Structure 1
Amino acid sequence: MNKVILILLAIFLAPIAVLIKSGVGKDLLINIILCLLFYFPGMIHALWVVTK
């Protein structure tokens, strides 16, 4: 998938971007927990996963 689209998804729909990039696993679980607590840390985590 195009990296620009993944970055946009990471900003607006963080768990979806992590799911597409790394599948179901620990990264997705961490991201969902971060998004439930506060959205901003979840977004930062998603950007990190997408760009690494």
Structure 2
Amino acid sequence: MDSAQIVNIIIALFLPPLAVFLEKGWGTECILDLVLTILFFFPGMLYALYIVLAQHTSR
């Protein structure tokens, strides 16, 4: 686990849409996470963690 992944995980905990945007760019994943975060913060955070951790394990 490198420092970039740790920073992305911390961002995913506090600002989930930003973490998804940094990993995937502006697209359906970012819009979905933004909606999840606006409606219910916890699902948006879980989705962002999933995106961040899945992105780093596939590299």
TM-score (norm 2): 0.85
* Structure with greater contact order relative to length (CA < 8 Å, sep ≥ 6): 1
* CA deviation map 1:16-49 (0-9, x unaligned): 0000000000100100000011100000000000
TM-score (norm 1): 0.96
User: Which consecutive residues of structure 1, in runs of 5 or more, have no partner in the other structure?
Assistant: none
**Number of aligned residues:** 52
Indicate the RMSD between aligned Cα atoms, in angstroms: 1.1
Matched residues, percent identical? 37
User: Which consecutive residues of structure 2, in runs of 5 or more, have no partner in the other structure?
Assistant: 55-59
